Structure 1
Amino acid sequence: MRAYGLKHPVIRKSTSNVVDTVVSTTKNAKDKDKQNLTMSKAKRVFMKLRSVLRIASAHLALYLFVIFYILTGAYIFHVFEGQHEIETHAIHRRQVQQLRHEIIEKIAATDKANEVDDLLRYFLKNISYMHISLDNYLIYNDPTQRIQMRWTYPASILFSFTILTTIGYGNLSPTIGWCKIATMIYGAIGIPLFLITIADLGRFSKTAIMTVVQAIYKKELKKPGEPQRFLREIAEVLLVIFMFIVFIAIGSVLILMWEDQLTYFDSVYFSYMSLTTIGLGDIVPRRMDFLLPTLIYLTIGLWLTTALVEQLADVFRLVHYAGRQVTDVKRITVWLGGRKLSVGGLIRTVGRRVGISDNLIGQINWDSTIAQALDGHLPPALPIFPWHFQDFLEHDPPLIDLSIDLDQADSSFYCSKPPRPKTRRDSQMSAPILNYKRTKFDEVSLFNSTTYMDA
Structure 2
Amino acid sequence: MKKQNVRTISLIVCTFTYLLVGAAVFDALESETEKRRWEALQDAEDMIIRKYNISQEDFKVMETVVLKSESHKAGQQWKFTGAFYYATTVLTTIGYGHSTPSTVGGKLFTMCYAIVGIPLGLVMFQSIGERVNRLSSYVIKAVRSSLRCKRTVASEVDLICVVTTLSSLTIAGGAAAFSKFEGWSYFDSVYYCFITLTTIGFGDMVALQRDNALNRKPEYVMFALIFILFGLAIVAASLNLLVLRFVTMNTEDERRDEAQAMQVRSEFLMRQ
- Structure 1 residue 321 displacement after superposition: 2.2
Matches within 5 A, 1:308-327: 308-322=238-252, 325=255
Gaps of 5+ in 2: 1-48, 259-272
CA distance in 1, matches of 2:127, 2:99: 29
Distance 1:136 1:318 in 2: 51
How far apart are 1:201 and its partner, in Å?
Answer: 1.3
Report whether the alignment pairs 1:270 with 2:192: yes
Look up the SS of the partner of 1:154 in the other structure: helix
**Cα shift at 1:189:** 1.1
Q: Provide structure 1 residue ranges, at least 5 long, that are not aligned to the other structure.
A: 1-112, 140-145, 329-455
Out of 60, 63, 74, the position equivalent to 1:125 is 60
Question: SS of the counterpart of 2:65?
Answer: coil
Measure how far apart 1:280 and its partner are: 0.6
Specify the alignment match of 2:99 in structure 1: 172
Q: Mapping of 1:292-371 within 5 angstroms? A: 292-322=222-252, 325=255
- Alpha-carbon distance in 1 for matches of 2:190, 2:206: 12
Q: Choose which of 165, 169, 174 in structure 2 pairs with 1:251.
A: 174
CA distance in 1, matches of 2:166, 2:180: 22
Cα displacement string for residues 352-395 of structure 1 (whole angstroms, at most 9, x for unaligned residues): xxxxxxxxxxxxxxxxxxxxxxxxxxxxxxxxxxxxxxxxxxxx
What's the offset of the Cα at 1:185? Answer: 0.7
How far apart, in 2, do the equivalents of 1:124 and 1:295 lie?
38
Equivalent residue of 1:237, what SS?
Answer: helix
1:307 to partner: Cα distance = 0.5
Contact 1:136 1:147 in 2 (8 A): no
Instruction: Count residues with an aligned counterpart.
Output: 195
Maintained 8 Å contact 2:164/2:238: yes
2:167 paired with 1:240: no
**What secondary structure is seen at the aligned counterpart in 1 of 2:221?**
helix
1:126 offset after TM fit, Å?
3.4
Measured at CA, do residues 277 and 147 of structure 1 come closer, stay the same or move farther in structure 2, by a change above 3 Å? closer
Query: Alpha carbons of 1:256 and 1:126: their partners in 2 closer, same or farther (altered >3 Å)?
Result: closer
Q: Percent identity?
A: 26
Partner SS state of residue 181, structure 2: coil
* Equivalent residue letter for 2:142: A
Match of 1:213 among 121, 140, 146: 140
Deviation of 1:258 after TM superposition, in Å, equals 2.4
Aligned partner letter, 2:204: D
| Alpha-carbon distance change, 282 to 136 in structure 1, aligned in 2, over 3 angstroms | closer
- 2:202 is aligned to 280
**Retained in 2: the 8 A contact 1:274–1:298?**
yes
Q: Are the equivalent residues in 2 in contact too, given 1:252–1:271 (CA < 8 A)?
A: yes
Change in CA separation of 1:323 and 1:168 when aligned onto 2, cut-off 3 Å: closer
Instruction: Tell me which structure has the larger Cα radius of gyration.
Output: 1
Relative to structure 1, the CA distance from residue 147 to residue 313 in structure 2 (aligned partners, 3 Å threshold; closer, same or farther) is closer
Q: CA, structure 1 residues 234+147, in 2 after alignment: closer, same or farther (shift >3 Å)?
A: closer
CA-to-aligned-CA distance 1:281-322 (integer Å, 9 cap, x gap): 111112322111111111111001110111112211221122
In 1, the alpha carbon distance for the partners of 2:67 and 2:174 equals 34
Matches of 1:321 and 1:147, distance apart in 2:
50
C-alpha distance in 1 between matches for 2:58 and 2:180:
42
Higher helix share: 2
Give the Cα separation in 2 of the matches to 1:153 and 1:205.
31
**Deviations 1:90-116 (CA, angstroms, capped at 9, x unpaired):** xxxxxxxxxxxxxxxxxxxxxxx99x8
Structure 1 residue identity aligned to 2:185:
T
Query: CA contact under 8 A between 1:273 and 1:280: conserved in structure 2?
Result: yes
Q: Is the 8 A contact 2:125 2:236 kept in 1?
A: yes
Letter in structure 2 aligned against 1:124: F
Secondary structure (helix, strand or coil) at the match of 2:207 reads coil
Once the two structures are TM-superposed, the CA of residue 326 in structure 1 deviates from its matched residue by 9.0
Distance in 1 between residues matched to 2:82 and 2:66, nearest whole Å = 19
- 1:158 match: 85
Structure 1 segment 48-447 matched on structure 2, within 5 A: 119-128=54-63, 131-133=64-66, 136=69, 148-218=75-145, 232-259=155-182, 261-286=183-208, 287-288=213-214, 289=217, 290-322=220-252, 325=255
Q: Secondary structure at the match of 1:277?
A: coil
Q: 1:125 to 1:197 in 2, by over 3 A?
A: same
Q: 1:165 to 1:311 in 2, by over 3 A?
A: same
Instruction: Return closer, same or farther for 1:240/1:121 CA change in 2, 3 Å cut-off.
Output: same
Indicate if the aligned counterparts of 2:197 and 2:232 stay in contact, CA closer than 8 A. Answer: yes
Go from structure 1 to structure 2 and tell me whether the alpha carbon gap of 1:263 and 1:120 turns closer, same or farther (over 3 Å shift): same
Cα gap change, 1:132/1:150 in structure 2, threshold over 3 Å: closer, same or farther? farther
Q: Detail structure 1 runs of 4+ shifted over 6 Å in the superposition.
A: none
CA distance in 2 between counterparts of 1:300 and 1:255 reads: 15
Equivalent pair of 1:168/1:279 in contact (CA under 8 Å)? yes
Quick one: structure 1 residues 214 and 171, their matched pair in 2 at CA, closer, same or farther if it must change by over 3 Å? same
Q: Give the structure-1-normalised TM-score.
A: 0.39
Report the Cα distance in structure 1 between the residues aligned to 2:57 and 2:204, rounded to whole angstroms: 29
